[in-house]
Amino acid sequence: MKCKSCPFWISIVTIILLSLVIAYQFVEPAPPKNIRIATGREGGGYHTFAVEYQKFIAQKNFQLEIQTTAGSIEALELLKSGKVDVSFLQGGISDETTVKSAELESLASLFYEPLWVFYPTHKPIQYLSELRGKRIAVGEEGSGTRKLALFLLKENGVTVENTIFLALPKEAAAQQLATKEIDAAFLVMSPTANTISELLNNPDLELLDFKRNLAYTSRYPFLTTIKIGEGMINLEKNIPKVDKTLLATTASLVTRRDLPSSLVRLLLMAATDIHKKGGFLEKRDQFPSGQFVEFPLNAEAHHYLDKGQSWLENIFPFWLAVTLDRLKVMLIPLIAIIIPLVKGVIPIYKWGIRFKIFRWYRILREVDHDIENMKDLEVINNKIEQMKQLQRELLDVVSVPLGYMSEFYTLRIHLNLILGRLENRRQEVLEH
């Protein structure tokens, strides 16, 4: 049996499918499964955190590839060249041109990184300017420590022209400082690092107290101050013996601007899980943060830090939440087309049913109007055959909605009535 309403519904479905196909062209491509991150040397703080990120991200069915470097300067170059997607970077390492470039953005600051300046006790200093003419370990080439140390020393008039700068690894710097081969060492490390503990426990060494910390932090937004209170490192040995004020930068996650927004959220999920508990210097829930970042904050990162995980991410596995979020653009044509269709299809469908009934009634009316004037037997027989054909047509109709069954059955009654009148008229003609 032929479906008379099928062309109508096929047209509706075709319109919807075409709309979805067009909308799919604007769907963001699926994010890559592999993310590359630059860290410091293996065993360092950045590398240790990267391993934790790697484990977290693996649980979300993504992979984090770790690229070790000599420090933040080298990591920054890898990021700028596109050889990695994201990097741990120490604050204060970038020049103004790099910061203002459109290719890099910050995801969040993660934790404090104190600047430790140690010197021999028998050669006391109060200000960095007093290091002029000394032998100073300022960190390895390519490290963020070296960049920060040279910057601060230059601001205090201590330059390569009047001072000897040594590019020593942290362990070598600590050793030479202990053996009095150098006069000072700049280190950017966690207070819980073994190297810091050893230097603080050495009675022949002293930690510089930054008396002019307000001058530094007001001039350089990437710097902040932290307090190391008496006995804070070791209560039993009362280390340090007096309160110390240190300058500190913050470690940040910095990414290329073209990193997909879903991967931005994945990295921040990892950062939140790992850093929200705080640390020796950080309070719980203080990090990750949009403060203390050196590069412009990524828009998606700003939204995540402000709002947290989306309701999709709270309900579904991350990969499924990403897929649904990507496809949300396809809701636009669905909303724009289906709602009007829903509003319009039902009245159109109702009108179609009524139109068919009215068409049949129009035929009945015309026949009914001419019955009394019919005198030709052949004409009467043709009309009777037409009514029987219409009767068969009505018997084949099975898709009439319940709301129209009353009109449908009434039509069939009237059809039988007209058919009866035609047969009576034929009998009258035959008798005459």
6 assigned to some structural domain: no
Residue after which a domain boundary falls, among 275, 293, 309 = 309
Which structural domain range is residue 359 located in? 334-431
pLDDT at 9 over 90: no
User: Is 362 in the same domain as 245?
Assistant: no
User: Is 102 in the same domain as 41?
Assistant: yes
User: Is 137 in the same domain as 265?
Assistant: yes
User: Is 206 in the same domain as 281?
Assistant: yes
325 assigned to some structural domain: no
| Among the ranges given (21-25, 29-33, 320-324, 377-381), the one the predictor scored with the smallest mean pLDDT | 21-25
CATH number, domain with residue 264: 3.40.190.10
pLDDT in tens, 299-325: 999 999 999 888 888 888 888 877 777
Nearest to 83 by CA among 97, 96, 98, 66: 66
Residues forming a β-bridge with 248: 114, 224
213 assigned to some structural domain: yes
User: Is 151 in the same domain as 263?
Assistant: yes
What whole-number distance in Å separates Cα of residue 274 and Cα of residue 110? 9
Chain centroid to Cα 35, Å, comes to: 14
User: What is the per-residue pLDDT for 274?
Assistant: 95
3 state DSSP class of 327: helix
pLDDT at 3 over 60: no
Q: How many domains does the chain have?
A: 2
pLDDT in tens, 128-157: 999 999 999 999 888 889 999 999 999 999
3 state DSSP class of 413: helix
Indicate the angle between helix axes 405-431 and 339-370, nearest 10 degrees.
Answer: 20
User: Is 302 in the same domain as 388?
Assistant: no
Residue after which a domain boundary falls, among 309, 344, 379 = 309
User: Is 164 in the same domain as 279?
Assistant: yes
User: Is 46 in the same domain as 124?
Assistant: yes
User: Is 175 in the same domain as 107?
Assistant: yes
H helices then E strands: how many in the chain? 16, 10
Residue after which a domain boundary falls, among 309, 343, 366 = 309
357 assigned to some structural domain: yes
291 assigned to some structural domain: yes
pLDDT in tens, 95-122: 765 666 668 999 999 999 999 999 999 9
121 assigned to some structural domain: yes
pLDDT in tens, 159-199: 999 999 999 988 899 999 999 999 999 999 888 888 888 99
User: Is 303 in the same domain as 344?
Assistant: no
247 neighbors 114 (Cβ within 8 angstroms): yes
Chain centroid to Cα 269, Å, comes to: 10
53 assigned to some structural domain: yes
User: Is 171 in the same domain as 135?
Assistant: yes
User: Could you tell me where the beta strands, DSSP code E, fall in 57-140?
Assistant: 63-68, 86-90, 104-120, 135-137
pLDDT in tens, 365-400: 888 888 888 888 888 888 888 888 888 877 766 566
For 367, counting Cβ atoms within 10 Å of its Cβ (0-12 exposed, 13-18 middle, 19+ buried), the class is buried
User: Is 123 in the same domain as 262?
Assistant: yes
27 assigned to some structural domain: no
Residues forming a β-bridge with 205: 120
